[in-house]
Amino acid sequence: MRWGILATGQISTMLVDEIRLTPDCEVVAVGSRTEESARRFAEAHGIPRVHGSYAELIEDDGVDVVYVGASHNAHYPAVRHCLEVGRAVLCEKPLTVDASQTEELVRAARAADVFFMEAMWMRCRPGFAELVRVLSSGEIGEVRHLRAALGFAVTEEHSRRLVDPNQAGGALLDVGVYPITLAFATLGPPVEIRALARLEGGVDRSVVVAMSWPAGATAALAGSLESEIDTSAVFAGTEGRVEITAPFHEIGALNVVAPNRPPRRLTPPAEGLGYVHEIAEVVRCLRSGLGESPLVPLDDSIAIMRILDECRRQIGLTYPEAAYR
């Protein structure tokens, strides 16, 4: 499976290494906004073909699937172009800046019968499947509460993208999407959402989200770009709890704790940095003739994007027009 890498940031560097750890995969091309940037990346990672624009990479017929690792606001036009030329695409989370863009891309992918998947790698890791199995087994009873947070302290020098409103930066889309996805993927669509945030410089530096479900479960979720918060997660049930070790989105280990029973520690196997599993899922789907992954359904990506939109509405965060171009 021949991969093309769109954009040359840190996440793309990690994906190149993980693709090469995945059986029957190779990286054959890279594209950036400038040829100089693409050439530097290609030389550093031994990639044979260089493209000085995203469009050139997408239109390279020697590429089977494009990985979109660009900033949030660049996802929509890049994916749209991939779908127009029939190129399979794995796009970083979140898929777009808002739900309307995501809905449009999903409709286009399904109409063109082109594979399209959000790179929510957490859902492809063996640990996630094990988490779902434990929660579904009834071992901790009915889930009544979820606590999950992800964040770290950054400065503009660390990554300007994260705090740039023109690139749809901020805690919600960059790190808050993980606890929200964890909640949605395990508990289903919430019936109530409440969001608060600290805004500065046109982006949300920290955000907290409370949710509730019809069966009585609640969640306290958080994301931050300005504090080293506790990044573990806990599902508390009527008969015990499941603790996910930090950082929870890697789901490296699960501690199952219940009264009158010795605690159990589950350590599902993982390959590489963990991205191998989502790459292998793309390959599996393409070779099976699937248009989307059952592990990361496109309808879920739309639903989660709608939750993110509602959170932005409640915290009063509006992206500038430049973020939609």
CB 140 within 8 A of CB 240: yes
Burial of residue 227 (CB within 10 Å: 0-12, 13-18, 19+) is middle
Which one-letter DSSP state was computed for residue 50? E
- Given a contact cutoff of 8 angstroms between Cβ atoms, the answer to whether 109 and 83 are in contact is yes
- Judge whether 5 and 47 are in contact, CB under 8 Å: yes
Contact 279/28 with Cβ under 8 angstroms?
no
Closest CA to 249 of 71, 147, 125, 144: 125
Which amino acid makes up residue 132? Answer: V
| Segment (H or E) for 198 | strand 192-200
C-beta separation of 27 from 85 below 8 A: no
Region of residue 191 (left: phi > 0; alpha: psi -120 to 50; beta: else): alpha
Q: Number of C-alpha atoms within 13 angstroms, CB side, residue 298?
A: 21
CB 261 within 8 A of CB 170: no
What is the set of active-site residues? 93
For the beta sheet containing 49-51, the strands, ordered from the edge strand earlier in sequence to the opposite edge, are 49-51, 26-31, 2-6, 65-68, 88-92, 116-119
Measured in degrees and rounded to the nearest 5, phi and psi for residue 65 equal -145, 140
Query: Residue length, the chain?
Result: 325
